[in-house]
Amino acid sequence: MDFLQFSQQEGDIKLSFIGGGVMAEAIIRGVLDRDVARAEDIVVSDPVPARREALTSGYKINAVDDNVQAVMGADAVILAVKPQVMPKVLPELRGKIAPDQLLLSIAAGVGVKRLRDGLGHDVLIRAMPNTPAQVGQGITVWTATEKVSLEDRETGASILRALGEEIFVEDEKYLDMATALSGGGPAYVFFFIEALIDAGVHMGLSRDIAEKLVVETVLGSASLARQSGTHPAILKNMVTSPGGTTAEALLVMEEAGLKGTVIRAVLAAYSKAQSVGK
Ligand SMILES: NC(=O)c1ccc[n+]([C@@H]2O[C@H](COP(=O)([O-])OP(=O)(O)OC[C@H]3O[C@@H](n4cnc5c(N)ncnc54)[C@H](OP(=O)(O)O)[C@@H]3O)[C@@H](O)[C@H]2O)c1
C-alpha cells in the first residue's frame, strides 16, 4: 500500500456538490473552517427545498435544484448522493463534466469503472469516508485514476481532510477492505459500546452514568493507542493485573471466541463489499 503526503490547497477552489446531505454538509463545514474554499465558490445541488434553504442560510453557499447547472464552472465536483441514486445521476451528468474538472465520489460501493463508464469522464477520485466525518474525526481511504494530476490530487486531499484524516492508496482493491474495516467500523464500535452500557445497567448503574463511563473509556483508549503508538496487546496487558478482575473478563471473551468472531465478521463485510462492487 502506498502512502502519499499531499499539501494543503488554500483558498480559491470552486466546488460543486451533487447531493446536499449529511456528508456533503460535513465536507462543506470542513472546507470552510479550513479555508480550502470560500462560501461564494461553493454550489450544492439538492432536490429538497428545505435542504437547500438550510445550507444557504447556514453556510452562505449557493444552492440549486439542477445537477447540470451545479457542475458548471467548478474545479471539483463532489458526488455525494446515495449509491441507489447513481442510475439517475450518472446519465444526467454524462458529457457535462469538462475534461479539466475533477470528479470526487464518496458513494460507497460505486467503483471507478462504473463512474468512468457512467459519466464518460476519467479524471476521478473515489473515496471511502466513515461517519465520524460528521464531527471532523473521520478516516477516509481514497484512490485516483491516472488522469488525475498531482495538483488535483492535492485538491482532493484538501477536500477529504475536511472530514478528518485521509490515506491515499494506489490500488482500488484497498477501498473494499477499507469499506469493511473503517467504513463499517463505527457500527462495530457502537455495537460494542452498546453492549458495555448494557453490562453497566445490568450491574445496577444508571444508564446515564454507564453511557458516560463507556463512551469516555472508548474515546480515551483510542486516544491512548494513537498518542502512545504502542501495540494494543501491550496496552491491554498493562490493564490486566495478574489474577485480577480484567483477566477474568478477558478469559470469558476468549472462551466465547470473540476475537475470531470479530475477524470473521470483518471478512464477511469485505466479501460483501467485493460482490456489491461487481
Ligand atoms: N454518511 C456517512 O458517514 C457515509 C460514509 C461513507 C460513505 N458515505 C457515502 O456518502 C454518500 C452520501 O451519504 P449521506 O449520508 O450524505 O446521504 P444523504 O444524507 O441521504 O445525502 C444525499 C442527498 O442527496 C440528495 N439527492 C437525492 N437524489 C438526488 C439527485 N438526483 N440529485 C442530487 N441530489 C440528490 C438527497 O435528497 P433526499 O433526501 O430527497 O433523498 C440527500 O439530500 C453516499 O453515497 C454514501 O454511500 C456516507
How do the pLDDT tens digits run along the chain, 278 residues long?
Answer: 555 555 545 568 999 999 999 999 999 999 999 999 999 999 999 999 999 999 999 999 999 999 999 999 999 999 999 999 999 999 999 999 999 999 999 999 899 999 999 999 999 999 999 999 999 999 999 999 999 999 999 999 999 999 999 999 999 999 999 999 999 999 999 999 999 999 999 999 999 999 999 999 999 999 999 999 999 999 999 999 999 999 999 999 999 999 999 999 999 999 999 888 66
| Residue 194, C-alpha cell as written in the block | 452498546
| Burial (Cβ within 10 Å: 0-12, 13-18, ≥19) of residue 165 | middle
Q: Are 135 and 34 contained in the same domain?
A: yes
Q: Are 158 and 248 contained in the same domain?
A: no
Q: Which atom of ligand 1 is nearest to the CA of 134?
A: 3
82: CA distance to ligand 1 center in Å? 4
- 48 Rama sector, left if φ>0, alpha if ψ -120 to 50, beta otherwise: beta
Residue written as cell 463532489? 78
Whose CA is closest to atom 28 on ligand 1? 85
267: CA distance to ligand 1 center in Å? 26
Q: Are 82 and 153 contained in the same domain?
A: yes
Give the Cα-Cα-Cα angle 38, 27, 158 (nearest 5 degrees): 70
Which of 170, 197, 231 terminates a domain? The answer is 170
Measured from the Cβ of residue 272, the count of other Cβ atoms closer than 10 Å reads 15
Q: Are 190 and 57 contained in the same domain?
A: no
Q: Are 155 and 244 contained in the same domain?
A: no
Residue 8: predicted pLDDT: 47
Tally of domains within the chain? 2
Residue written as cell 474554499? 37
37: CA distance to ligand 1 center in Å? 21
Reported residue count of the chain is 278
> Does residue 19 fall inside a structural domain?
yes
Closest residue by Cα to residue 239 from 213, 261, 217: 217
User: Is the C-beta atom of 80 inside 6 A of ligand 1?
Assistant: yes
- The domain of 255 spans 185-277
| Residue 97, C-alpha cell as written in the block | 463534466
Sign of the dihedral defined by the CA atoms of residues 145, 150, 155, 160, in that order: positive
At 95, the amino acid letter reads G
Residue 278: predicted pLDDT: 67
Pocket test for ligand 1, best of 67, 81, 94 (most atoms within 8 A of CB): 81
- Classify strands 102-105 and 124-128 as parallel, antiparallel or unpaired: parallel
> Does residue 71 fall inside a structural domain?
yes
Q: Are 157 and 262 contained in the same domain?
A: no
CATH at 120:
3.40.50.720
Q: Are 82 and 40 contained in the same domain?
A: yes
CA 76 to CA 97: how far, in whole Å?
A: 10
- Classify strands 42-45 and 15-18 as parallel, antiparallel or unpaired: parallel
User: Is the C-beta atom of 45 inside 6 A of ligand 1?
Assistant: yes
Q: Are 138 and 199 contained in the same domain?
A: no
Q: Are 190 and 165 contained in the same domain?
A: no
Q: Are 143 and 209 contained in the same domain?
A: no
80: CA distance to ligand 1 center in Å? 5
Q: Are 137 and 193 contained in the same domain?
A: no
Residue written as cell 470528479? 103
User: Is the C-beta atom of 127 inside 6 A of ligand 1?
Assistant: no
At 185, the amino acid letter reads G
CATH at 216:
1.10.3730.10
Which of 126, 144, 170 terminates a domain? The answer is 170
5: CA distance to ligand 1 center in Å? 28
Whose CA is closest to atom 21 on ligand 1? 21
Residue 12: predicted pLDDT: 82
Q: Are 238 and 130 contained in the same domain?
A: no
